[in-house]
């Protein structure tokens, strides 16, 4: 049995089982990622958004320019011979090829990352954490590892319940009493299941969202790369 001492570099998860306030944190963009794969997903999102924004400006610029400078009231008539020109013929090939090129650029990097999301890495150092959904709280258990969290009594099982409004303040329904503490720089596998109804384990900073279904075990994994407190919510329904 491996002993894992969790000391200086830790991240803690505060996950409530309450979907009612899923929009509690309304930011302009996705939250700053806290794991390697989450960073890749974020980068693809930024690349896609940038490509879409550039295309939007070019195409709208072209449309607006045409509307202003080539309007009927200025004496312009629709081109009846466009299809007879070289560009008129080949534009039906060139434009779809360019569009496909953009699509495949996005799809290629998205596919590589999707494989990483899907395939849980194997290895001795992989740390297993069982995550059980309950109405209305989460239960965590460190499997295979004795976990010693600095400054806390030694434990392997954590019951995590959301704090009442007077204690949680602005983080009401996002703050919990007991956090799940995890090491930075270690690959962690979450094994999800449920004790009652369907739940969904969701932590935006880790780009992890997975159904927790009674009688089934589903899995996700993360490789945390920075410290912090990351708040999640049950995303079922």
**Full strand arrangement of the beta sheet holding 208-212:** 180-183, 10-16, 228-234, 199-203, 208-212
CB of 199 to Cu ion, least distance (A): 3
The conformation of residue 52, written as its DSSP 8-state character, comes to: H
In the complex with Cu ion, the residue whose CB is nearer, 6 or 206, is 206
Q: How many residues bind Cu ion (CB under 5 A)?
A: 4
How far, in whole angstroms, is CA 4 from its chain's centroid? 27
CB-nearest residue to Cu ion:
234
Could you tell me if 175 and 162 are in contact, meaning their C-beta atoms sit under 8 angstroms apart? yes
In the complex with Cu ion, the residue whose CB is nearer, 174 or 199, is 199
CA angle 153, 156, 161 (to 5 degrees): 80
Find the binding residues for Cu ion in span 215-234 (CB under 5 A). Answer: 234
CB of 197 to Cu ion, least distance (A): 7
| Beta-sheet pairing, 137-143 with 127-134 | antiparallel
Half-sphere exposure (Cβ direction) of 143: Cα atoms closer than 13 Å: 12
In the complex with Cu ion, the residue whose CB is nearer, 113 or 220, is 220
Q: Which span (11-19, 56-64, 68-76, 117-125) binds Cu ion, by CB under 5 A? A: 11-19
How far, in whole angstroms, is CA 224 from its chain's centroid? 13
In the complex with Cu ion, the residue whose CB is nearer, 113 or 194, is 194
Binding mask 172-211 for Cu ion (x = CB under 5 A): ---------------------------x------------
Among 6, 11, 15, 17, binds Cu ion (CB under 5 A): 17
The contact set with Cu ion (CB under 5 A) reads 17, 199, 234, 236
């Amino acid at each position: 049995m491996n002993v894992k001492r969790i000391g200086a570099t830790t991240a803690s998860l505060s996950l409530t089982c309450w979907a009612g306030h899923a929009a509690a944190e309304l930011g302009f963009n996705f939250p700053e990622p806290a794991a390697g794969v989450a960073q890749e997903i974020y980068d693809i999102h930024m690349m896609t958004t940038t490509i879409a924004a550039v295309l939007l400006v070019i195409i709208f610029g072209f449309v607006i320019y045409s509307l202003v400078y080539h309007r009927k009231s200025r004496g312009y008539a629709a081109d009846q011979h466009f299809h007879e020109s070289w560009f008129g013929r080949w534009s039906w090939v060139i434009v779809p090829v360019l569009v496909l090129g953009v699509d495949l650029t996005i799809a290629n990097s998205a596919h590589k990352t999707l494989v990483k999301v899907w395939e849980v890495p194997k290895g001795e150092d992989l740390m297993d954490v069982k995550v059980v959904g309950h109405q209305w709280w989460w239960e965590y258990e460190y499997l295979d590892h004795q976990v010693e969290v600095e400054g806390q009594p030694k434990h392997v099982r954590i019951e995590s319940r959301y704090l009442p409004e007077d204690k949680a303040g602005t983080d009401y329904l996002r703050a919990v009493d007991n956090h799940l503490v995890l090491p930075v720089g270690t690959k962690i596998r979450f094994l999800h299941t449920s004790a009652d109804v369907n739940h969904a384990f969701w932590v935006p900073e880790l780009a992890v969202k997975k159904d927790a279904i009674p009688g089934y075990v589903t899995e996700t994994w993360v490789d945390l790369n920075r410290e912090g407190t990351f708040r999640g919510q049950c995303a079922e329904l």
